[in-house]
Copies of this chain bind each other. A is one copy, B any other.
Amino acid sequence: MFLRIDHIGIACRDLEEKIRLFSDTFDLTVVAREVNEEQGVKEAMLHISDGEGGGSYIQLLEPLSEDSPVGKFLAKRGEGVHHVAFGVRDVADAMGKISERGVRLLDERPRHGSMDSRIAFLHPKDVGGVLTELVQAAGR
């Protein structure tokens, strides 16, 4: 079902500072920046490698407001890993299978993710405390 680890989503307070830290320390390149109003974040994708069906990235996330999901996460847990994401071939198909197996979905249907992907989140309480995202990368 999983083609690759798509990205590790890291919550931070200052996106530009963390882009500099990660790119300078690990020789990484920013390949996309966007603001996702629906999710209440501005973000950057730092490319690590290419794999089946898409790439692997570090995703840096700065909240647009304190009462957004990532804003609340920062207030409670501080900076660090917010979620992890796995690449799938067909996100709707994966959502169906996973739901049948008893894991709750946070999204009823796929929504828009980074770099025109289609994504869905799974309930962290059903996945060992890990906020888990499914990613169907945009066709290339």
Contacts and interface: CB of A to CB of B under 8 A. Distances in A.
A103 interface: yes
Contact of A5 (B2, B5, B25, B60): B5
B129 A2 contact: no
A129 B79 contact: yes
Task: Tell me whether chain A's interface is mostly helix, strand or loop, or mixed.
Answer: mixed
Interface stretch (A34-42, A46-54, A107-115): A46-54
Contacts of A86: 26, 48
Interface residues of A toward B: which range? 35 or more
A73 to B, nearest CB: 11
Nearest to A79: B129
A80 interface: yes
Contact of A56 (B4, B12, B21, B103): B4
Contact of A48 (B4, B24, B27, B48): B4
Residue from A1, A2, A80, A128 whose CB has the most chain B CB atoms within 10 Å? A128
Interface string A2-25: 111100101010000010011011
A79 B132 CA distance: 13
Interface of A: 1-5, 8, 10, 12, 18, 21-22, 24-28, 48-49, 51-52, 56, 60, 77-81, 84, 86, 98, 101-103, 124, 127-130
